[in-house]
Amino acid sequence: MRSHLHQVGVHTIDMSEYSQTSHLLFCSGLLLCNHPGICVFPLSVSYRSIMQMLREKKTLLTEILSADSSYILQNVQQEEIVTNRDYNNLNIPNQSNEKTVINLLDKVMNKGDTKSYELVNLLQKPHMIKNYPRLEEIFNNHTEPSDHTFNPAPTIPIPCTDNSDLETVVTGGDEVSLYEMTSVPRGLCLIINNEIFDKLSERTGSNKDAVDLANIFSRMKFRVVMCKDKTAVEIPSVLKDLPKHGDAFVCCILSHGKKEGVCGTDGTVVPTIDILSPFNGTNCSILVEKPKLFFIQACRGKDVQKGVPVNKKPKVEGTDMELDTDDGQVQDYTLPLYSDYLVFMANVDQYISIRSPTSGSWFIQSLCGQLEKSCTRGKNIYEILTGVKAAVSKKKGDLRIKDANGGYGYEVVKQSPDSRDTLTKMLIFPAETKHSS
């Protein structure tokens, strides 16, 4: 059976059969920042589907939205949450506002978690809050993205990996310090999930990656901010207007991409340096000497990376050689402008990255899996990165490619995640990543 693949690039790739995955799950109690389309996931030890939340809040939602049933109907139609046929069936003359809203909520919930999430996302947009101010009773919305807008950490004790003996990591006689990772929340995890584009192909399956990232980083005690479908102008604006707090910063970008950077929903490229620069030592002093991690799921070119045969060879022992410099000078303690960064990309330069419309991308799913099993064991970030690279490099699939004659054929495709960093300490996430019972 062929793998079910989707190219994270500018070409539409044919899909074949693939196993179904579970419904998308989102945390309840969403907050709103001052950027449209941003959902903030509160630190939580439990997860419920959006549909569950809609059921619990159905009576209150009905009461709120019944104040102007025609407005919500128009908006769900414009956002394509319901079809035109659904709209006509719901918009019945002389029917009470309350009955119209009840039928609408039932219709959306019957469509499943994805449409339910789209409805909740719509209800948090500024124009909806303006028309239905009481929606804040449900979503606890705030307008300023500062630290005080976040819900406090839960009072329920969360078991953590014991790091009392991890003050230093000794390698070759030299002590390597650990990044401090004690604040709760640990810091902010921003997820920019670009799925729908003006001209480029839809990135089906990206929601699966976004939800899995939100879940794992929330369980690692990060405050998670979800940002959906941003243009090349909006992406830098979002990055510059984030609350800065905690012991670390994580940014996950899921989008189409090119060699120069990632694409906004308008197809324009945001250079990678423009994503990194808002957090350097000059522009963000509060994150100096704190790890800034960027995980980017996007193509970096149009080439397809092929596999090569590997023959097992006996291990060859080498000799160690010492290298030194001649000047013997000791420098004052300073930090480079781009110190304490880690950038982990889905593939090496010039090559496409692979995504399944049902189970998500090779890169992000492997990353979530490694974080899930490695953090509770006290593994450092380099061991996690190596685990991701190993897992992805072993994957292969048949990609439908158009040949020079206009015909179609299948080509075996491989992928090699690429990392670079300027970390100055050892990074270990001392967080429990298992679901609490």
φ and ψ of 160, to 5 deg? -125, 160
Q: Read off the tokens for 250.
A: 């994580």
In b/e form, how buried is each residue of 94-127, taking b as 16+ CB within 10 angstroms? eeeeeebbbbbbebbbebebebbbbbbbbbbbee
Which has the higher per-residue pLDDT, 327 or 412? 412
The ranges assigned to domains in the chain are 50-139, 187-305+337-422
pLDDT value for 43: 40
Q: How confident is the model at residue 334 (pLDDT cuts 50, 70, 90)?
A: low
- 18, pLDDT greater than 80: no
Bridge-partner residues for 428, per DSSP? 380
Q: How confident is the model at residue 412 (pLDDT cuts 50, 70, 90)?
A: confident
Q: How confident is the model at residue 364 (pLDDT cuts 50, 70, 90)?
A: very high
pLDDT value for 417: 94
Q: How confident is the model at residue 261 (pLDDT cuts 50, 70, 90)?
A: very high
pLDDT value for 15: 25
Domain 50-139 falls under CATH 1.10.533: yes
Just list the catalytic residues.
Answer: 256, 299
pLDDT in tens, 106-157: 998 888 777 887 888 788 888 888 899 888 777 653 333 222 222 322 322 2
- Mean pLDDT of all residues in 390-406: 84
- Topology of the domain comprising 187-305+337-422: Rossmann fold (3.40.50)
- 31, pLDDT greater than 90: no
22's CB contacts (< 8 A; 6+ apart) are none
